[in-house]
């Protein structure tokens, strides 16, 4: 639909709403006048009038910005409404930040509490234990996704596995981060993210951004964006150059994820790193 048509529809809607609001106010005022004529002895004190006016305020926001109550008190409805909305937005953003921090803390706790893999003996310089442990974790991750329904329990298991990967991946010899990021196996992609989370490597920024732009699994996409934000937070802006097309893909991906999700919040942070001229994160993001 053309923009002009949208604006006309919006304007017509506002006009109709103002007319209905005005009609409602007229009806209420007329009813009060009739009550006054029919029952002249009925006394209505200033408190009753004030309460009646306050009751009408939510329906009269299109007609005025403020009203003055008996006694000189001034009620600015629109400003009050805006303050309430701003407070709700701040509360939503805080809740999301707490959720994101909690996820990171749970993963760190899982890494700290997980037992050392079988066969680990760094004194001998044999890293085969790390290869075997990572293969087990990748397989277990695939089984969790296959056998458990989506929900908090599955997310908790995935976080535990990611935490264990954080301890293992630094010891895997010849770890090919690029190949793992591009793997069809989600467990291998998660292992690559664990490696970059533990050892942020600016040289891997572009493959990581590419993985973030195309990742479809919510849990993996969250850690893609989280890991990218971690890498960029420790890298000077003048030390990297990202293709414009890749930034566009990230913006497109952002538009596809739920606006209030942690994925959206971290994606916005990533885009702010890449282009500080981007507008600030939207409410709830």
Residues 167 and 33 in one domain: no
Question: Distance between CA atoms of 256 and 169, rounded to whole angstroms?
Answer: 31
Domain range for residue 157?
Answer: 89-274
Q: Tell which of 82, 105, 138 closes a domain.
A: 82
Q: Answer whether residue 164 is part of any domain.
A: yes
Q: Answer whether residue 158 is part of any domain.
A: yes
Q: Answer whether residue 137 is part of any domain.
A: yes
Q: Answer whether residue 279 is part of any domain.
A: no
* Section 267-275 average pLDDT: 92
Residues 210 and 267 in one domain: yes
Residues 148 and 240 in one domain: yes
Residues 205 and 70 in one domain: no
Residues 76 and 93 in one domain: no
Residues 20 and 146 in one domain: no
Crossing angle, helix 152-168 and helix 186-198, to 10 degrees? 60
pLDDT tens column, 39-94:
666 666 665 666 566 556 555 555 455 555 555 555 555 554 555 555 555 544 44
Q: Answer whether residue 32 is part of any domain.
A: yes
Question: So what's the pLDDT on residue 48?
Answer: 60
Q: How far is CA 58 from CA 51, 77, 151, in A?
A: 13, 8, 39
Question: Distance between CA atoms of 86 and 53, rounded to whole angstroms?
Answer: 25
pLDDT tens column, 84-133:
555 555 544 444 444 445 555 555 544 445 555 555 555 455 678 899 99
Residues 25 and 114 in one domain: no
Give the side-chain half-sphere CA count within 13 A for 154: 14
pLDDT tens column, 169-218:
999 999 999 999 999 999 999 999 999 999 999 999 999 999 999 999 99
Residues 193 and 62 in one domain: no
CB-CB contact of 101 with 136 (8 Å): no
Structural domains counted in the chain: 2
Residues 215 and 121 in one domain: yes
Residues 23 and 51 in one domain: yes
Q: Which DSSP string corresponds to 73-86?
A: -EEEHHHHHHHHHH
Q: Tell which of 45, 67, 82 closes a domain.
A: 82
Whether residue 161 is predicted with pLDDT greater than 90 in this model: the reply is: yes
User: Which residues in the chain belong to E strands, given as ranges?
Assistant: 66-68, 74-76
Q: Answer whether residue 27 is part of any domain.
A: yes
Model's pTM, two decimal places? 0.59
Banded pLDDT at 8 (limits 50, 70, 90): low
Angle value at C-alpha 168, between 167 and 171, nearest 5 degrees = 115
Q: Tell which of 34, 54, 82 closes a domain.
A: 82
Question: Distance between CA atoms of 92 and 254, rounded to whole angstroms?
Answer: 19
Q: How far is CA 75 from CA 10, 79, 237, in A?
A: 28, 9, 48
CB-CB contact of 192 with 180 (8 Å): yes
* Section 29-47 average pLDDT: 64
Residues 110 and 218 in one domain: yes
- State both tokens at 42: 């009925």
With helix as H, strand as E and coil as C, how does 152-212 read?
A: HHHHHHHHHHHHHHHHHHHHCCCCCHHHHHCCCCHHHHHHHHHHHHHCCCHHHHHHHHHHH
Question: Distance between CA atoms of 112 and 152, rounded to whole angstroms?
Answer: 21
């Amino acid at each position: 639909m053309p923009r002009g048509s949208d604006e006309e529809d919006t304007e017509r809607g506002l006009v109709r709403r103002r007319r209905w609001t005005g009609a409602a106010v007229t009806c209420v005022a007329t009813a009060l006048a009739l009550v006054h004529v029919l029952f002249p002895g009925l006394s209505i004190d200033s408190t009753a009038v004030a309460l009646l006016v306050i009751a009408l305020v939510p329906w009269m926001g299109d007609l005025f910005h403020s009203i003055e109550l008996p006694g000189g008190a001034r009620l600015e409805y629109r400003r009050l409404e805006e303050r309430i909305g701003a407070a709700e937005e701040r509360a939503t953003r805080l809740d999301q930040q707490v959720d994101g921090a909690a996820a990171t803390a749970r993963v760190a706790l899982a890494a700290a509490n997980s037992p050392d893999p079988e066969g680990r003996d760094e004194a001998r310089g044999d890293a085969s234990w790390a290869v075997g442990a990572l293969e087990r974790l990748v397989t277990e991750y695939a089984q969790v996704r296959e056998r458990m329904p989506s929900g908090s329990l599955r997310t908790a298991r995935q976080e535990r596995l990611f935490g264990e990967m954080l301890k293992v991946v630094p010891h895997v010899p010849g770890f090919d981060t690029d190949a793992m990021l591009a793997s069809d196996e989600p467990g291998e992609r998660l292992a690559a993210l664990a490696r970059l989370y533990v050892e942020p490597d600016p040289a891997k920024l572009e493959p990581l951004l590419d993985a973030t732009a195309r990742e479809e699994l919510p849990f993996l996409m969250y850690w893609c964006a989280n890991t990218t934000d971690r890498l960029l937070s420790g890298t000077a802006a003048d030390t990297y150059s990202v293709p414009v097309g890749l930034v566009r893909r990230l913006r497109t991906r952002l538009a596809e994820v739920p606006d209030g999700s942690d994925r959206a919040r971290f994606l916005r942070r990533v885009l702010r790193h890449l282009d500080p001229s981007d507008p600030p994160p939207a409410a709830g993001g």
